[in-house]
Amino acid sequence: MIDMKKFILFLLFASLATAGMAQKPDSTKNTSSADSLFNSMNAVNKKENVVVFESPRLILTQTNETVKKKNLNVIFVHRFGDFAGPSGGGKFFYGFDDIADVYLALQYGISDNLNIEIGRNTLPLVGGLVDLELKYALIHQTSDNSSPVAITLIGQTGVRPYNSYATFGDRVSYFGQVVFASKLSHRFSIEVAPSIVQNNLPVPDLSGSPEQIFSLSAAARLKVTKLLSVVCDYAHPFGSYRNAVGFSDPLGFGIQAVTGGHVFTINITNSRAASEINYLSNTTSDYGRGQYRIGFTISRMFDFTHKETFNPKR
Amino acid sequence: MMKFICILLLALIIPKQNGGDLYLCKNAKITIYSSALIEDIKADSNFGLSVFNPATGELNFSLLISSLQFEKAFMQQHFNSDYMESDKYPRAIFKGKVQEHVDVTRDGSYPVTVTGTFTVHGVTKPRTITGTITVKNGIVSMASEFMVNCADHHIDIPQILFYHIAENIKVTVSATDILYKSPSNQ
């Protein structure tokens, strides 16, 4: 009988111990079984691509972002004449009388990661440049931080259709860039982009001017409100030729408004040209001489994903 | 004495099952709809999560905001970054209790009232939502439709927008919950 009592006591102890153990994970969270299943299911973090910049283009440089599949982005970049200096000021209505460059482009998403873009730069001083570009988002930044940076490749061919050149080859320039971009916080994103420009005929075509220019671009965006961001954009071409007097580094400041399918950017930059090939090769306008200008970029996205074929699992 | 031990053993086993069976759905279809000036805005997700405990009436729903698919990619981006701030508030969560008793062993359709809290955009509000629970062959289907007021959840609608969303958004939920078998119980 005593043995039996001992056995019962042992059983009680054992059951209490196991009950305590079994309830431990639940009781610390103070949740029911439904809640704990719900919480464990919710804890599974879905890996997602981070939107680093909300537009494919800032002021001077392009971002890592691409236009999504079957989307067409119509881009219009305008730079006015010098705000101050000898060709600016009140007489020229602070540059509004003049056009430094106009860039019109169509950018289309072949896939979510691959874009093709065709554009034309006016650039009255040089006589225009037509460019064809492929842009490929190689790596996306991910929400689980398995990839802290996004990497996008840009390849561009530019042809100068006007003026007289010895051969067709002399009209051609190439541009290649690798964009490393990262969204550092909810509001702040940066990018660094090394690039190379190859001008078959050096720009400017003077002795000592190299055909190839290495450069490094850097840009940042600070989101101020839900709609407005402050953008800063800078590029530095390397080489002793461009370190000499006469050249300056393109630098732009702007305010960007992103409203769904539209992106507006109002900016101030010393660069006259809108195209990478042009502004990296030959930026001589300088803030110090009043050769900065007001410019703007407008882009509008059209989505050709057909309603009937709209697949929510896309 | 043997009887007593048997009862004791039974008493030890019973509480393990007392929590009740759970019903789970990992692919609940959740649709949002807002009529707008230029075009109606509609998005849906097939990745809603639903957990139902028929014994206690507990009913929880959650939706990863970024899993909502819009017709237009830029609308989706805009919705996530500017309206819902889904990087800060990734989920919409409803935690409630079904007021009526739903017998999952008997086929039938039960109109239900679910009282609980609804959290969207980091703001939690008490809500009472009506819907229908249909039981057929042990499968528990749920359907509901309710309105969410943007201002209630501090979802600001920027003024200079081409794609306005309305102040109230209609949410449609349909889930098919099946008996959840915990891997550890197998």
Cβ contacts of residue A85 below 8 Å, gap of 6+?
A: A289, A290, A291
Tokens of A50: 């981070």
Contact between residue B114 and residue B129 where contact means Cβ atoms under 8 Å apart: yes
Q: Which residues of B touch A303 (CB under 8 A)?
A: 71-74
Q: Which residues of A touch B27 (CB under 8 A)?
A: none
Strand ranges (E), chain B: 23-34, 41-53, 58-64, 69-70, 91-98, 108-120, 123-136, 139-149, 168-179
- Among chain A residues, the shortest Cα distance to B1 is held by A4
Shortest Cα–Cα distance, A26 to chain B (Å): 12
Q: Where are the domains of chain A?
A: 2-43, 71-303
According to the model, what pLDDT value does residue B186 have?
42
B19, B62, B162: residue with CB nearest A261:
B162
Kindly report the pTM of this predicted structure.
0.79
Residue window 83-102, chain B: list those with CB within 8 Å of chain A: 85, 87-88, 91, 93, 95
For residue A183, the one-letter residue type is K
Under an 8 A CB cutoff, do A15 and B163 touch?
Answer: no
Q: Which of A56-65, B31-40, B138-147 has the lowest mean pLDDT?
A: B31-40
Measured CA to CA in angstroms, residue A200 lies from A155, A162, A310 at distances of 16, 16, 46
According to the model, what pLDDT value does residue B155 have?
87
Q: Does B13 touch chain A (CB under 8 A)?
A: no
Element (H, E) at B76: helix B73-78
CA-CA distance, A180 to A56, in Å (whole number)? 13
Under an 8 A CB cutoff, do A37 and B161 touch?
Answer: no
CATH code of domain A71-303:
2.40.160.40
Tens-place pLDDT, residues A189-234: 999 999 999 999 998 888 888 999 999 999 999 999 888 999 999 9
CB-defined contacts A:B, below 8 A:
119
B8, B60, B77: residue with CB nearest A8:
B8
Q: Does A54 touch chain B (CB under 8 A)?
A: yes
According to the model, what pLDDT value does residue A225 have?
86
Measured CA to CA in angstroms, residue B93 lies from A282, B49, B89, B177 at distances of 56, 9, 10, 17
ipTM of predicted complex: 0.71
Sign, CA torsion B33/B35/B36/B41? positive
Tokens of B158: 């920027």
| Burial per residue of A12-51, b for 16 or more beta-carbon CB atoms within 10 angstroms, e otherwise | eeebeeeeeeeeeeeeeeeebbbbbbbeebbeeeeebbbb
Under an 8 A CB cutoff, do A33 and B22 touch?
Answer: yes
Task: Please name which of B47, B6, B176 lies closest in space to residue A44, comparing C-alpha atoms.
Answer: B47
Cβ contacts of residue B169 below 8 Å, gap of 6+?
A: B32, B33, B34, B147, B148, B150
Structure-derived torsion over alpha carbons of residues A13, A15, A17, A19, reported in degrees to the nearest 10? -150
Report the SS3 class of residue A286: coil
Under an 8 A CB cutoff, do A227 and B158 touch?
Answer: yes
Domains and CATH numbers, chain B: 20-180 (2.40.128.110)
According to the model, what pLDDT value does residue A66 have?
95
* DSSP notation for A3-27: HHHHHHHHHHHHHHHHHHHHHHHHH
CA-CA distance, A279 to A199, in Å (whole number)? 12
Tokens of A253: 């400041």
Find the mean pLDDT for residues B93-97. Answer: 94
CA-CA distance, A99 to A293, in Å (whole number)? 10
Under an 8 A CB cutoff, do B45 and A312 touch?
Answer: yes
DSSP state, residue A142: B
Find the mean pLDDT for residues B74-102. Answer: 88
Q: Does B162 touch chain A (CB under 8 A)?
A: yes
Q: What is the pLDDT along chain A (314 residues), one digit of tens a residue?
A: 557 677 666 666 665 555 545 444 443 344 578 888 888 887 766 778 889 998 999 999 999 999 999 999 999 999 999 999 888 888 889 999 989 999 999 999 999 999 999 999 998 777 789 999 999 999 999 988 899 999 999 999 999 998 888 999 999 999 999 999 999 998 999 999 999 999 999 988 888 889 999 999 999 999 998 889 999 999 999 998 988 878 999 999 999 998 778 899 999 999 999 999 999 998 999 999 999 999 999 999 998 886 544 444 44
Q: Which residues of A touch B162 (CB under 8 A)?
A: 259-262
Q: Does B67 touch chain A (CB under 8 A)?
A: yes
Q: Does A2 touch chain B (CB under 8 A)?
A: no
CA-CA distance, A116 to B70, in Å (whole number)? 24
Confidence of residue B183 (pLDDT cuts 50, 70, 90): low
According to the model, what pLDDT value does residue A258 have?
86
Contact between residue A236 and residue A281 where contact means Cβ atoms under 8 Å apart: no
Under an 8 A CB cutoff, do B44 and A312 touch?
Answer: yes
According to the model, what pLDDT value does residue A138 have?
96
Tokens of A106: 């169509």
Shortest Cα–Cα distance, B52 to chain A (Å): 7
B16, B24, B81: residue with CB nearest A37:
B24
- Among chain A residues, the shortest Cα distance to B183 is held by A37
CA-CA distance, A292 to A285, in Å (whole number)? 7
Q: Quote the longest CA-to-CA distance of chain A.
A: 116
CA-CA distance, A186 to B122, in Å (whole number)? 15
For residue A256, the one-letter residue type is Q
Shortest Cα–Cα distance, A124 to chain B (Å): 34
CA-CA distance, A200 to A219, in Å (whole number)? 28
Q: Does B117 touch chain A (CB under 8 A)?
A: no
- Strands B69-70 and A150-159, by their bridges, are unpaired
Q: Does A86 touch chain B (CB under 8 A)?
A: no
